[in-house]
Copies of this chain bind each other. A is one copy, B any other.
Amino acid sequence: MKPKSQNIQWQESDVDRADRERRNGHRGVTVWLTGLSGSGKSTLARRLEAALFERGCEVYVLDGDNMRYGLNRDLGFSPEDRAENIRRVGEVARLLTNFGAIVITAFISPYRADRDMTRGLMPAGDFLEGYVDCSLEVCEERDPKGLYKKARRGELKDFTGISAPYEAPESPELVIRTERRTPAECVGQILEYLEAGGYLGATADVGAGSGH
């Protein structure tokens, strides 16, 4: 380990996004997964996270597990609270993207206006909307948490797809059809998109001529 004084003097300016992206070897970006309950968002998010982590990426998943019981614990399921939930997730995603990380979000996020608001927080290219496309029939058949059954029995109000609308994206960057494909195939599709878009190969480009 170098002497402390050298360490402190070496980085003369604040650490900025470009410094972080150079070290990470990839760009900061938010992959915003949206789709019905049971469409496969969480599974895809976790598999994609694992694949990117294995490649050495700084990658973080934001989902109900770490947001609803933390930052958003004060929010319920009214339309206003749902919008605020998405706004906060969007702000944290923006923060982490600005820190040069790859952020994967897994929320139903049924309203176009909320998703567009989040897109509007970030510069073009920082926000990729991934529509996890799966028919209501198949989602209801999968019903991993038994929520559709409860919703059909009227025990859950305003349940997306049953008693509340899902507004599918009109021009998402990615449409990920999970009905007849394995999670690995779907993850492969997203990785290919990220590669083709230059998100995963920042090292060579950014590092050239930087001198370190």
Nearest CB in chain B to that of A56: its residue: B23
Contact of A54 among B7, B14, B99 (CB under 8 A): B7
Question: Per-residue 0/1 for A63-83: is the Cβ within 8 Å of any B Cβ (1 yes, 0 no)?
Answer: 000100011010000000000
Q: Which residues of B contact A49 (CB under 8 A)?
A: 14-15
CA distance A46 to B19 in the complex (A): 14
Main secondary structure of the interface of A (DSSP, over half): helix
- Copies of this chain in the oligomer: 2
Contact flag A15-B47 (CB < 8 Å), given A8-B187, A66-B95:
no
Q: Are A8 and B51 in contact (CB under 8 A)?
A: yes
Looking at chain A, what size class is its interface with the partner chain? 35 or more
CA distance A121 to B184 in the complex (A): 36
Q: Are A54 and B88 in contact (CB under 8 A)?
A: no
Contact of A53 among B5, B15, B73 (CB under 8 A): B15
Q: Are A47 and B8 in contact (CB under 8 A)?
A: yes
